[in-house]
Chains A and B, each alone.
Chain A
């Protein structure tokens, strides 16, 4: 299923948070909405789900209109047939794991083979044995997996993820990233994933939509966004960037601390050093600008360092 948002605007108390947004989410792709907090990404997701009502515009699921302010169409969330994974899991504390997952089927009176289907969904997230537990008896990661099972059990055309990993610790987060990617690929559904974590976005997405202040800054494959950012905002928000001036930057790994032919040399002074385990991160003073470079060895603060930059890799705006 593809999702098409046309000329969508949304205001809260006259403050416009989304302004004339046009966004198409492709069928069976994993699309990530990435941006700083307050950029409107969660609002967009909730408008797709029907949990928020746009002030203006239209939303199509394939060819079916689910929202249109002109036509007065607003399909309620329970009729949109989507899965939604919540940031705070939103598991019902008074229901068992089984009943949490079965809820969507029961609500739709679709109770044929319910046992089998719920167990199937629970097995898909490897929680088959936890069916009779209550949410409070599960760890954070397990709770998130129940939330995921609940979202897939009704075989939705599309699953929406609202920062689902931000409540988990770093190790679980890595694990769940792989798992979510695996499951959505297996199910062959359209997935829309909201996050402010660029690593999450890069590692999981087929396509990233970078948002800033309610508008799209850039969209494309993760590699495209990283290597060829189109605006200074994207360059700064995603990855590390060293700036030559206001409109030119390079990624640290494209430069070198060793002399290379054809590279342009810049003199810098070491401002600070951080040991990161696999290497050292240097904070360099490049004529008033702060650059970051990685280095295999420690430098003394105040020492001079030459940075060699491949001019082909400089991105200008």
Chain B
């Protein structure tokens, strides 16, 4: 490029930078300044006081304790699963990969409600096994919370570990075996050392996810009086007496912890993972297992599915079909009435579905267009690219609740300038910022897969910038764009944190509808909606995999 185009490029980069700065960075600054600026002056004592306040200290230690426990439990659950799915005959059952992802794809607040309905006093468990007495109620404890959260994140960990194991390739193990190493020795001297980095990364990510999670703590955690960062921030920001200073101080601490974890994560990725991708395509490589070992493995997989999917879904479905909760699971006590209610005498349900669909479609579309444009425009941007990507991807590293608080504070401050706050439009904006990283990641990876030479070929064949973009680049990355769109749609459709904090008055989304009905005792209606929500998103996910996911070229 000569100088004039250089200048033009710089203007484009700078514009993107400024827009993202306003959308992402300023809200984060707003959080910190709200915490430390009191009456226009820096005052750290307030923030410090909030943090060392006894109640908040408990919150902080609670969160950390919960994070550590979930990491431990999900590691214990995931390790055998990953090995089974990577190295035994179960590796051939591809559908297992999909099924085992279900708990991760289920909104945490829905599965928590399922667990609550299952385990509570006179719940489904006690109805099914009356002789167990009140034993199931011991579920309402830290242990139960840890289990439910671990069930949710362990598919994520399993997938990471499984891919890491697959990456190791059988040849490294085979060469160890030929050198005389038995299974356990190989595990100890070859597999585990090669996997340390992956383990560390997976554990850090699980830790961050747990700390950022709101759904389960807000349903199950609040019920047992176990308060963590997210629930306290939410409480300070939404329940009288509202105190944004305290919400911000806690958010600040949460952000700092998460950022440290992310830094540790990226450090580990660069230092402790091995580049194991060889030139040769890897053949399928399985262990020769004894029958008994395989059988035990199969039972383990079955148990995991039964507990992590079977229980919550059984109780969601059963509850949504029960006529009168008092009679419980009894012949004649089943009805579709709650589903009908959703759409008829309870028009709020229908409205919530429409609102959520609207939010999901609009946010996904805007975020996808923005993401695509950003990725394409900054492709050759050198240092600008790093900066802009950093900005755009930041929301993914932040706990959603912090981003929401930041945007609330910031857009509240500029309300006179741009009266967006308290409208549905603001909710759209928050979702766009929150999920822009998804679009960027999908589109980036699509663009990485299309070599530069395809675009260069377009240029030397006489196509100008926009012609090449429309006829070459866009068709080639369309799959990535659509995948990103679908993911954003699915997640926005049932998102809880932002919806519960910033929905305009009298507007309900699917998630806030479910939570409210559940809390007001209409568990059956709530669960009917939950099931509809899961069915809609799952159908989309299947479409995503089958229609868009198939590579045409």
Contact between A53 and B459, CB atoms less than 8 A apart: no
Q: Contact between A84 and B460 (Cβ–Cβ < 8 Å)?
A: yes
Given A92-B472, A92-B476 in contact, is the A107-B553 Cβ separation under 8 Å?
Answer: no
Given contacts A74-B2, A76-B459, 10 further A-B contacts (CB under 8 A): A77-B456, A77-B459, A78-B460, A90-B454, A93-B553, A103-B471, A107-B461, A107-B464, A154-B461, A154-B462
Chain A residues in 8 Å Cβ range of B169: none
Does A59 reach chain B (CB closer than 8 Å)?
Answer: no
Residue of A nearest to B457 (CB): A90
Contact of A53 among B1, B456, B460 (CB under 8 A): B1
CA of A94 to CA of B5 in the docked complex: distance in angstroms? Answer: 30
A78 touching B462, Cβ below 8 Å: yes
CB-CB contacts below 8 Å: B354-410 with A: none
Bound Cα distance from A135 to B453, whole angstroms? 15
Scan residues 80-104 of chain A and give those whose CB is less than 8 A from a CB of chain B: 80-84, 86-88, 90-94, 103-104
Pair B2/A103 contact, Cβ less than 8 Å: no
Q: Is B225 an interface residue (CB 8 A)?
A: no
> Is B80 at the interface (CB under 8 A from chain A)?
no
CB<8 Å pairs between A and B, sample of 14: A49-B456, A50-B459, A50-B460, A77-B456, A77-B460, A78-B460, A83-B460, A87-B453, A91-B457, A92-B457, A92-B475, A94-B552, A103-B458, A104-B463
A68 CA to B168 CA, complexed, in Å: 51
Shortest distance between the CB of A100 and any CB in chain B (Å): 9
Selected from B459, B475, B476, the residue in CB contact (under 8 A) with A78 is B459
Contact A90 B467 (CB under 8 A): no
Query: Within 8 Å of chain A (Cβ to Cβ): is B505?
Result: no
Q: How far is the CA of A49 from the CA of B459 in the complex (A)?
A: 10
Partner of B457, one of A76, A84, A94, A154: A84
Do residues B460 and A49 form an inter-chain contact, with CB atoms below 8 A? yes
With contacts A53-B2, A74-B2, A90-B451 taken as known, whether A103 is within 8 angstroms of B553 at the C-beta atoms is no
Q: Does any Cβ of A come within 8 Å of B283's Cβ?
A: no
**CA distance in complex: A88, B463 (Å):** 20
B454 (CB) vs chain A CBs: closest residue: A90
A 148-160 to B, binary, CB cutoff 8 A, 1 in contact else 0: 0010001000000
Rounded to whole angstroms, the CA-CA distance of A83 and B553 in the bound complex is 25
B3 at the interface (CB under 8 A from A): yes
Cα of A72 to Cα of B4 in the assembled complex, Å:
9
| Complex alpha-carbon distance, A88 and B461, angstroms | 16
A104 CA / B552 CA spacing, docked (Å): 23
Is A279 an interface residue when CB atoms closer than 8 A count as contact?
A: no
Residues from chain B with Cβ under 8 Å of A49 in the complex: 456, 460
Chain A residues with CB under 8 Å of B463's CB are: 78, 103-104, 107
A26–chain B nearest beta-carbon distance, Å: 22
Contact among B5, B462, B553 for A104, CB-based, below 8 A: B462
Q: Complex formed: what's the CA distance from A103 to B472 in Å? A: 10
Tell me which residues across on chain A come within 8 A of B5, comparing CB atoms. 74
Chain B residue nearest to A102 in the complex (CB): B461
Please indicate the chain B residues that have their CB under 8 angstroms from the CB of A108 in the complex.
462
Which residue on chain B has the smallest CB distance to residue A135? B553
A136 at the binding interface (Cβ < 8 Å): yes
A299 within 8 A of B: no
The 0/1 profile, CB within 8 Å of A marked 1, for residues 459-494 of chain B is: 111111001100110011000000000000000000
Q: Please give the number of chain B residues whose Cβ is less than 8 angstroms from any Cβ of chain A in the complex.
A: 25
Say yes or no for A51: interface residue by CB 8 A criterion. Answer: yes
* B462 near A94: Cβ-Cβ < 8 Å: no
Q: How far is the CB of B121 from chain A (nearest CB, A)?
A: 60
Task: Give the A interface residue count (CB, 8 A).
Answer: 34
> Closest approach, in angstroms, between the C-beta of A295 and any C-beta of chain B?
36
Report the Cα distance A107→B457, complex, angstroms: 12
A80 to B459, CA, bound (A): 10
- Contact indicator per residue, chain A 113-148, by CB within 8 Å of chain B (1) or not (0): 000000000000000000000111000000000000
- Give Cα A82 to B459, complex, Å: 10
Chain A residues whose CB sits within 8 angstroms of the CB of B460 once the complex forms: 49-51, 77-78, 80, 82-84
Q: How far is the CA of A104 from the CA of B468 in the complex (A)?
A: 11
- The CB with the most chain A CB atoms within 10 A, among B451, B462, B471, B475, is that of B462
In Å, the complex CA distance between A283 and B2 comes to 54
Measured CA separation A93–B458 after assembly (Å): 13
**Closest residue of A by beta carbon distance from B553:** A93
Given contacts A77-B456, A92-B454, whether A134 and B553 have CB atoms under 8 Å apart is yes
Closest 3 CB pairs of A and B: A93-B553, A104-B461, A90-B453
Give the nearest-CB partner of A67 in chain B: B2
> Whose C-beta in chain A lies nearest to the C-beta of B478?
A94
CB distance from B466 to the nearest CB of A (A): 11
Complex interface: chain B residues within 8 A of A90 (CB):
451, 453-454, 456-457
Nearest neighbor of B459 in chain A, beta-carbon distance: A77
CB < 8 Å neighbour of A86 from B2, B457, B472: B457
Closest to B450 in A: A93
Which residue of the partner chain, among A69, A81, A94, A107, contacts B476 with CB atoms under 8 Å?
A94
Contact bitstring B431-470, A, C-beta under 8 A = 1, else 0: 0000000000000000000010110111111111001100
CA distance A50 to B472 in the complex (A): 19
Verify A72–B3 contact, CB threshold 8 A: yes
List B contacts of A69 (CB < 8 A): 2
Q: Which residues of A contact B467 (CB under 8 A)?
A: 107
Q: Are A94 and B459 closer than 8 Å at their CB atoms?
A: no
B482 CB to nearest A CB, Å: 14
B461 touches A150 (CB 8 A): yes
Q: Residues of B contacting A136 with CB < 8 Å? A: 553
When distances are taken between beta carbons in the complex, the residues of chain B under 8 Å from A91 are 457
User: Given A94-B552, A136-B553, are A74 and B459 neighbors across the interface (CB < 8 Å)?
Assistant: no
The 0/1 profile, CB within 8 Å of A marked 1, for residues 1-15 of chain B is 111110000000000
Chain A nearest CB, measured from B347 CB (Å)? 46
Chain B residues contacting A93 (CB-CB under 8 Å) are 476, 553
Q: Which chain A residues border B453 with CB–CB below 8 Å? A: 86-88, 90
Q: How far is the CB of A160 from chain B (nearest CB, A)?
A: 8
CB distance from B379 to the nearest CB of A (A): 14
- Nearest CB in chain B to that of A82: its residue: B460
Cα A76 to Cα B4 in complex, Å, equals 13
Q: Which residue of B lies closest to A77 (CB)?
A: B459
For A84, the chain B residues whose CB sits under 8 A away are 456-457, 460
Q: Could you tell me the distance between the alpha carbons of A24 and B4 in the complex, rounded to whole angstroms?
A: 29
The proximity string for A residues 46-67 relative to B, scoring 1 for CB distances below 8 Å and 0 otherwise, is 0001110100000000000000
A90-B454, A94-B553 known; A103-B461 Cβ under 8 A:
yes
Q: How far is the CB of A230 from chain B (nearest CB, A)?
A: 34
Chain B hits for A104, CB < 8 A: 461-463
